[in-house]
Homo-oligomer: A and B are copies of this chain.
Amino acid sequence: MSTTTTLPLYRQLAAHYRGAIEAGSLQPGARLPSLRSLMQLHDVSLSTALQLCRTLESDGWAEARERSGYFVRRPQRLGMAPMDEPDADVQPDPAQYVGIHSRVSDFVARRRAADVKLNLSIARAAPQFYPADALRAAMTRALRLHPELVAGVPPLRGDPQFRTVLAKRAVAAGMVLSPDEVLVTNGCIEALNLALRAVAQPGDTIAVESPTFYGLLQVLESLGLRALEIPTSPQTGLSIEALELAARTYGDIKAVVVVPHLQNPLGSVMPDAHKQRLVQLCDAQGIALIEDDTYTELLDAEQPPRAIKSWDATGNVIHCASMHKILAPGLRLGWISAGRWQARVEMLKYTQSRNNEVLSQRGAGEFMATGAYDRHLRRLRTALRSQRERTAEAIAKYFPEGTRLNLPPGGLQLWVELPAGCASAQVFDAALQQGILVAPGFLFSNSARSDHFLRLNCGWPYDAEIDGALRTLGGIAGQVARAA
């Protein structure tokens, strides 16, 4: 996929009609202009007019009626019930040592034993959505021009050019960082390890969102830390009230790890006011605030929202981010800016894995300094939005009554609430027998609260295979729900 062009014409026109429907200018049931009218109106070919209508149809905004043309329709997904908001004034469970390794190992072992035809358990876009050609060209150029990349020792903190680009882009999210305050890591996961090792000792309590991604629970478990699960809204993210209550109840929370934008798995986005309150609360309580910024660039927005770090006046916020999901899954590029723990984090990074190799940083930095990077992000967001919506449409169509869903404003995945009592473990098992791999909810929390949820990847182009798998999954969920 080229990353240098803008959206194709039929997609621009589809967005226009979709806007009209969302605004109410076109009501459900109304007839769309005929193909001939569309050709004249927009001065386009028959093929473009047809693609426009089919796009509206596949996105759920129109339906074809035989010999009558296309009619406006309300997507079924919009009729699904949203999830409940969490009770913020319920006491959180006491912090516990995680126990997630055995569950993940079990998950991995079952996956390996099965014949997986379709993997919906990941959180990643298809390879063709990433600018591999441009990155390969930049890396090839760097190899030609810079022999020292191979035989010289990688620079402290990471490649200066790459750090400069990262610092510059951080400005758009409200952060003022010098390139020397940016430390390049092996992905966001290493950044999170370093952040937690910098602020906490084994046995300490770390507050996390509930549900949260199992990668974080694994990190906590492997570092001997306790997880205190804080209720989290599917819409607005971590409940500040609940964190306040937990701090009052349990005291001595060493840090809180938050994904402010497109939380994994919820897809929630924290309002700015919440981020500000969180910064103040953590400052006041002496809780280190660790911000995981992996998904922000996948928000359906031209401008990124402000990072939590942008309100940090005391150095109490540790910002962690990654290029893994947004630029290139094959490159292990993350970074950290650790406020008042920067020196300790640098020491831990050096002690844990030394400085990162330069080549991929150079390639990424070069690409990210050009307009092609933003064009790539726009295309990726557009594709993901359509894929999320079509997946949601299929869930609305195929899943049993009582299934709930919040459509997140961006990202790679959907978090699906099955009817109460419909155990995701059973759905997981039955789906795996059909070659379909999903991420069952029990991986995302130590409590039983997520047991009837599934996380589904939307990173691949929606096609008949995916549609068929979602139909199968819906059928399985229905059976499990009826048996429950």
Contact = CB atoms under 8 A, between A and B. Distances in A.
Interface of A: 101, 105, 124, 127-128, 130, 132-133, 135-136, 139-140, 143-144, 147-154, 185-187, 189-190, 193, 197, 201-202, 215, 218-219, 222, 224, 328-332, 347-348, 350-360
A477 to B, nearest CB: 28
A130 B152 CA distance: 9
B136 A351 contact: no
From A151, A189, A224, A356, residue with most partner B Cβ within 10 Å = A151
B151 A352 contact: no
A358 B154 CA distance: 17
Given A140-B143, A348-B222, A359-B359, A190 B353 contact: yes
A352 B334 CA distance: 13
Chain A interface SS verdict (over half): helix
A332 B352 contact: no
Contact of A151 (B150, B154, B329): B329
B189 A353 contact: yes
Contacts of A329: 151-153
Contacts of A353: 185-187, 189-190, 193, 332, 353
- Copies of this chain present: 2
B105 A132 contact: no
B332 A354 contact: yes
Contacts of A193: 351-353
Given A187-B354, A215-B351, 15 more contacts: A127-B151, A130-B150, A132-B150, A135-B150, A136-B143, A136-B147, A139-B359, A148-B330, A151-B329, A154-B332, A186-B353, A201-B202, A218-B351, A332-B354, A332-B355
Nearest to A148: B127
Contacts of A153: 124, 329-330
Nearest to A153: B329
Contacts of A127: 147-148, 151-152
Nearest to A330: B150
A239 B218 CA distance: 39
Contact of A328 (B133, B150, B350, B356): B150
Contacts of A347: 101, 105, 218, 222
Contacts of A187: 353-354
A222 B152 contact: no
A152 B356 contact: no
A414 to B, nearest CB: 21
B189 A151 contact: no
Closest 4 interchain pairs by CB?
A127-B151, A186-B353, A132-B151, A130-B151
Contact of A358 (B124, B144, B222, B330): B330
Contacts of A201: 202, 224
From A136, A148, A185, residue with most partner B Cβ within 10 Å = A136
15 contacts: A105-B347, A128-B151, A133-B147, A139-B359, A143-B143, A149-B330, A150-B331, A153-B330, A186-B186, A186-B354, A187-B354, A222-B352, A331-B357, A332-B355, A359-B359
A457 to B, nearest CB: 13
Contacts of A154: 330, 332
A360 B353 CA distance: 16
Contacts of A354: 186-187, 189-190, 332
Contacts of A148: 127, 132, 330
B132 A351 contact: no
Given A143-B139, A147-B136, A186-B353, A152 B348 contact: no
A193 B194 CA distance: 13
B358 A357 contact: no
